[in-house]
Structure 1
């Protein structure tokens, strides 16, 4: 029996905390829609940014964009051979029909970014957002694969084009960065990391990084001539940008292969640089945001094979504000997910 209401963590404009609503209505399905019982939902720094006013939104909706679930009801026109009841699926943030609002990116009207998301017991979505989860992948890992897994994979493989023999420096070993370390290792790179947290540096070393620096150590290292081929920055503030440039600037310009600086993180800072420095150094600056369905398929496959391991801890959905506060305070190593009671 499917209920008509559910527990949900709701974004209310002007609030810096989500509102827990135990009677949030479950609307009726459209013909092409699917009702999923949410199994797990990852908590992302993007949600911290939304709740602190970096992205203002006048809409009220269920937050949470990183998740997985099991179909429990299909719309009249959904092919039951294509979407199987009882199967675990990771959920892509955006489908093929999503467009941005007010000239913004498509993500601004995706799941958990305007549309009701996964901080709830149920979610309504469409078949083109669903990717089946291979055997052996836990709901917690399947949830974080849908954003952290996709975004980190896309940054490493498609934006940075990491290949065997590359020296890669990764900034920020959080929910995305700890996966990026493993992806880069998988593609044959020698991996270095920078993070101010000792626990994050230890995790990176455990996952295969060669060296792990704090900010002062990396400053001294680059002053001594340390260079890499590629940097991937999951923090993206002025300090990490300047350290990335210092690690890339010493490379010889060797077209078509040039030093590459990939920005993935989002900060409120305006990054400043000298254009002559960029031109003379040959550093190529790229932005990377989310990724295609193929990146989710690849991430899930690596999780299933055990090549990449998700460092993840779970809390009940009722604790979502606590987890967001921990993210604000940079207290989380790896990723945390929240588990709706209905999935217990």
Structure 2
């Protein structure tokens, strides 16, 4: 099969031929139809994820059709990324997203930037007919992550004022999710173009990072929930400054090795709640797909190409000028 292989950190993926994978007991062979690329792929290319070894077939936002193994042949499926151990205290509570022994497609295991990939049967998620291939591919990361951050970790509800720091893929999908949950939304970003997109998606306010003081006019008491998706230390500090007393900051963006800080007096005296949020659970995956099938969230797709486009797509991703996911169709 053809695949895009990252041979070592700091190099672009190279298109090469690999043996077709063979599913083992309890596994499914998937013919890959669509794979989303995101900012995490840049971290992988730069060698910033310590659990990863190279060479590596990247691609963790995967959708395809069952082609063999333990599954109904031809079924349209998306792949839930973490393959959890099933035996630890976190798995016992359904927190498969933070299982410390989990391996992930496109990280510790071969990913979907190939014609075929193997996944554990319990990790495949049926794709509703109303959801396109491209939408399904990006859902279990670009939509799942802000879905958990806002609905589960942030407990966003009707009437809440939600500020989203960072208007990238997670942030712009977060706008739609927060609105679907009944909230009012403001977005902070450095890029006016992303703020315009956020406005088209329903955000009431778009604020350039240098002008964050204007958020006080929109939410005089502060935001009920702030979702920090930029991963930048300045973004975290801003999040803790604009949340209301007793409010919640949820962080789902990250930059390995960077330190996030805030005013410790404010954290204590205003009883702020700070929560991390990583991906989502298997139950969250079903919830995210349901929002899309119901038309409440539309995954943002910037451009679609083939395997041969992967090196150029990676460079475009690093430039950061596109709005929405770059999607690869390997076949």
Asked if 1:329 is matched to 2:324, the reply is: no
Name the CA distance, whole Å, in 2 between partners of 1:236 and 1:73: 39
Name the CA distance, whole Å, in 2 between partners of 1:302 and 1:153: 10
Q: CA deviation at 1:335?
A: 1.4
TM-score using structure 1 length: 0.87
Q: CA deviation at 1:162?
A: 0.3
Aligned-residue RMSD, C-alpha = 2.2
Give the one of 81, 85, 90 matched to 2:73. 85
Could you list the runs of 5+ residues in structure 1 that have no partner in the other structure?
A: 1-5, 253-257
Q: CA deviation at 1:222?
A: 4.2
Asked if 1:72 is matched to 2:67, the reply is: yes
Asked if 1:240 is matched to 2:229, the reply is: no
* Structure 1 partner of 2:278: 289
- Listed one character per residue, the Cα deviations across residues 131-152 of structure 1 (whole Å, up to 9, x for unaligned) are 1001111000000012112111
Moved more, 61-70 or 275-284: 275-284
Asked if 1:113 is matched to 2:107, the reply is: yes
Q: Is the 8 A contact 1:99 1:105 kept in 2?
A: no
* Structure 2 partner of 1:280: 269
Asked if 1:338 is matched to 2:328, the reply is: yes
Give the match's secondary structure for 1:9: strand
Q: Is the 8 A contact 1:219 1:243 kept in 2?
A: no
* Structure 1 partner of 2:202: 208
Give the one of 245, 252, 255 matched to 1:267. 255
Name the CA distance, whole Å, in 1 between partners of 2:195 and 2:160: 20
Q: Is the 8 A contact 1:98 1:109 kept in 2?
A: no
Q: CA deviation at 1:106?
A: 4.5
Q: CA deviation at 1:59?
A: 3.5
Matched ranges for 1:1-344 at <5 A: 6-21=1-16, 23-56=17-50, 57-74=52-69, 78=70, 83-97=71-85, 106=100, 109-222=103-216, 226=220, 227-248=222-243, 251-252=244-245, 258-268=246-256, 269-312=258-301, 313-340=303-330, 342=331
Q: CA deviation at 1:329?
A: 1.8
Give the match's secondary structure for 1:14: coil
Greater gyration radius = 1
Name the CA distance, whole Å, in 2 between partners of 1:90 and 1:221: 38
Q: CA deviation at 1:334?
A: 1.7
> Structure 2 vs 1, CA of residues 144 and 99 (structure 1 numbering), >3 Å: closer, same or farther?
farther
> Structure 2 vs 1, CA of residues 176 and 224 (structure 1 numbering), >3 Å: closer, same or farther?
closer
TM-score using structure 2 length: 0.90
**Residue-pair matches, total:** 318
Q: CA deviation at 1:323?
A: 1.9
Name the CA distance, whole Å, in 2 between partners of 1:294 and 1:130: 12
Moved more, 50-59 or 264-273: 50-59
- Listed one character per residue, the Cα deviations across residues 9-50 of structure 1 (whole Å, up to 9, x for unaligned) are 1122334321221x1111333132211100100101111011
Name the CA distance, whole Å, in 2 between partners of 1:29 and 1:209: 45
Q: Is the 8 A contact 1:99 1:106 kept in 2?
A: no
> Structure 2 vs 1, CA of residues 140 and 176 (structure 1 numbering), >3 Å: closer, same or farther?
same
Name the CA distance, whole Å, in 1 between partners of 2:35 and 2:277: 23
* Structure 1 partner of 2:94: none
- Listed one character per residue, the Cα deviations across residues 213-238 of structure 1 (whole Å, up to 9, x for unaligned) are 11122145449974211100111212
